[in-house]
Amino acid sequence: MTQSLEEATLTEPEFRDLFPEFEDSKAYPAKIIVARLKIINLRINGFRWRNLSDYGRGLMLAHYLALWKYTQLQNRVGADGKTQVSSVPGMAVGAVNSKSVGALSVGYDTSLSKLDDAGFWNLTTYGQEFWQLVGLIGMPGQQF
């Protein structure tokens, strides 16, 4: 039986195929992905998104997973004394606008990659792409 666009849902294996950077099931457990997909599959209207539904759902999930992983790692310090947040895919950083050598410091200009009115979606490149699709579909504020 085929599903209509309104009923179609993205599955965990389909998501991992679309976004192979999240294929590590230890780093990104299936239970976290499946739980978030239950919500996302309800939020993205397949009729409105049409053939972009799965990709939109995938971008939304990748955005939430990147933020989830960032939150997990931001307080963990490795043997070298550094946090491990640089290993999180898709975090929106921006161009380097300042740096120092003594005590190592780097500043980033995030205004170059920030999308107007995207707010929370600006935190990852996945969220930014999702927001651009929302604009393409023509429904910011009610994409769900």
The mean predicted confidence, pLDDT, of the chain is 77
In which band, very low, low, confident or very high, does the pLDDT at 5 lie, cut at 50, 70 and 90? very low
pLDDT digits (tens, 9 = 90+) for 113-128: 565 676 788 888 899 9
DSSP state of 82: -
Q: Where are the beta strands (DSSP E) in 1-144?
A: 95-100, 105-109
Residue 109's identity, in one-letter code, is: D
pLDDT at 75 over 60: yes
- What percent of the chain stands above pLDDT 90? 35
Domain residue extents for the chain: 12-90+125-137
In the chain, the N- to C-terminal Cα span, in Å, equals 25
CB atoms within 10 A of CB 113: 14
**At 43, which helix (H) or strand (E)?**
helix 30-43
Span 30-64, pLDDT tens digits: 999 999 999 998 888 888 888 999 999 999 999 99
pLDDT at residue 134 tops 80: yes
**pLDDT value at residue 87:** 58
Lowest-confidence range among 3-12, 18-27, 40-49, 97-106? 97-106
Most confident of 18-27, 40-49, 70-79, 115-124: 18-27
Q: Alpha carbon of 12 to those of 26, 35, 84, 87, 109: distances in Å? A: 14, 10, 25, 21, 34
Closest CA to 19 of 52, 59, 51, 49: 59
Residues in a beta bridge with 99: 106
